[in-house]
A and B are shown apart, each in its own frame.
Chain A
Amino acid sequence: MPKYLILKHYQGGPEAPGFAPMSEWTPAEMEAHFQYQRDTIKMLQDAGEFVSADAAAPTGNWVQYGGEGKPPHVLDGPFPETKELIAGWFLIDVESEQRAHEVAAYVSKAPGKGGEPIYEWLEVRPMMSEPPPVE
């Protein structure tokens, strides 16, 4: 049974027509959006498909080996040329890729301004499994 990572990006995908940024949402619209995320997790748990879900802070540090005997290089925030940022993810274990796509479409339907679906683009990546003994 394959695992899939459903990635939410802060930016990177094409914007849906009529998209309104979160800064223009009312508190009630925002609460409905957050509730939808919790309901999604509950839906996945009830289906026996949930592995984990998490969100990442929008910014962090970039870290690199600093060379023999030296501390690591640490840079603030993303590089200017970085086009995308991971906002969070759902890790699911499902019967098929088709089902993973259904789940992603469900996540994409989360309500935004005026309670309308935000049509968010999500990246669906299969996770590596074990090589089967019988090839």
Chain B
Amino acid sequence: MAPALDEDLLREASRQVLGALVRRAADFAAAEDAVQEALLEATLKWPESGVPAEPVAWLTTVARRKLVDVQRSDASRRQREANAALEPEPGPTERSDDTLLLLFLCCHPALSPTLAVPLTLRAVGGLTTREIAEAYLLPEATIAQRISRAKKTIGQQDLSAFRAALAAGEPDKPVVLRVLYLIFNEGYTTGDRIDLAAEAIRLTRLLYAASPDPEVAGLLSLMLLHHARRFARFDNGNLVPLDEQDRTRWDRALIAEGVGVLQAALAEGRHGEYQVQAAIAALHDDARSADETDWTQILAWYDELVALTNNPLAELSRAVAVGEVDGPLAGLRALDGVEERLTDYHRLYAVRAHLHERAGNTNAASDLFAKAAASATSTAERNHLLRRAAQARAATTER
């Protein structure tokens, strides 16, 4: 029986090959097709012939040949010369530059996140369409269609300014960071084979290796510091809040790495929202028990986060910190003026319920937890809030 091909190797290779092709100004959609064809050829040939000594070079050669074939037939069909610039030249591969170019293309501002996310996972992450579909619990055809629309949209852009900005090292990073953040934070945890959070970390590591900007570091650190708690977040399918998590189940190695990356970034003195959120996560991860949490420092970081982002959700979280530092009534006062700026009410109700519970108003807390549950957007959160409502109700009748 032929040996199974190393999937990690293929994924890594496909990204490098695609990056190399696209860097030579090849049309993105055509380059992507060529790489997929080359990969197919590899899966057919390698089990018999063995994996070549230089798999990336092998795939690049095959993909270039396919690309040139397509361009020649296009050219003859249209009776015009193939654009010389389209023909990839051999040369040293600048791997990190290629990765950057690919990542920024996949997260081009012309693409909505629904298109940028699957394209990034496919072209940079090297996942198959089927794997992406499984990870998002969507039909494969739907993901295939999104990737095809994304490629078409990129094909319609004038990329000259984009390439110039990238060459000058001034690409539009916030969009890329946003896409990576969405992959991390809006994925499903139920997928057996594909862990989207781990994929997001892998992609962010690639970006960090190629471009160690403080906010890239901040995002990587934020992901690592939250990913470290993943095994403690659920108990038998139930969501476990931070203060009740079994901290011995936190991944200390990931925390140490996250803190290290963050400290180096903060030292540069250019704070941004990801660094600040990571700093808050680091303070939680640093406490050996919930009681030892340094809420005074956390509150200071929330002050900075609110100043940086003016985001009402940050103000909600800040009110919890105020509640810990100055007492629950001060926390409730900190919510004044936040309500009208929110669209997501379940978190407001949950925060108010929590503060009322801490203030001893278990009756109000129970009602608010029930209201929060009614507008929750995930089953795990809804069940957790229903449980908290029942606990507050039980505490009320006991008195």
Interface residue ranges, A against B (CB under 8 Å): 1-2, 45-52, 93-95, 126, 128-135
Q: Which of A1, A126, A131 touches B114 (beta carbons < 8 Å)?
A: A1
Give Cα distance in the complex from A77 to B114, angstroms: 41
Across-interface contacts of A46 in B (CB, < 8 A) = 145
Give Cα distance in the complex from A93 to B112, angstroms: 13
Tell me if A51 and B138 are in contact (CB < 8 A).
Answer: yes
Tell me if A48 and B149 are in contact (CB < 8 A).
Answer: yes
Tell me if B377 and A129 are in contact (CB < 8 A).
Answer: yes
Q: Which of B70-78, B179-187, B202-210 contacts A (4 or more CB under 8 A)?
A: B179-187
Q: A1-B114, A130-B378, A133-B227 are in contact. Are A48 and B143 (CB under 8 A)?
A: yes
Whether a CB of chain A sits under 8 angstroms from the CB of B212 is no
Tell me if B188 and A133 are in contact (CB < 8 A).
Answer: no
Give Cα distance in the complex from A48 to B347, angstroms: 30
Q: Which of B138, B188, B222 touches A134 (beta carbons < 8 Å)?
A: B222
| A2 CB to nearest chain B CB (Å) | 8
| B186 CB to nearest chain A CB (Å) | 7
What 14 new A-B contacts, CB under 8 Å, besides A45-B141, A94-B114, A133-B230? Answer: A1-B117, A1-B136, A46-B145, A48-B143, A48-B146, A49-B142, A128-B377, A128-B382, A131-B380, A132-B185, A133-B185, A133-B197, A134-B184, A134-B226
Instruction: Tell me which residues from 158 to 191 in chain B have a Cβ below 8 Å from any Cβ of chain A.
Output: 181, 184-190
Give Cα distance in the complex from A49 to B149, angstroms: 12
Q: Which of A48, A52, A94, A128 touches B378 (beta carbons < 8 Å)?
A: A128
Whether a CB of chain A sits under 8 angstroms from the CB of B64 is no
Give Cα distance in the complex from A80 to B377, angstroms: 33
Q: Mark B123-154, 1 if CB is under 8 A from A, else 0.
A: 00000000000001011011101100100000
Whether a CB of chain A sits under 8 angstroms from the CB of B283 is no
| A10 CB to nearest chain B CB (Å) | 27
Give Cα distance in the complex from A115 to B215, angstroms: 56
Give Cα distance in the complex from A50 to B143, angstroms: 10
Across-interface contacts of A134 in B (CB, < 8 A) = 181, 184-185, 222, 226, 277, 281
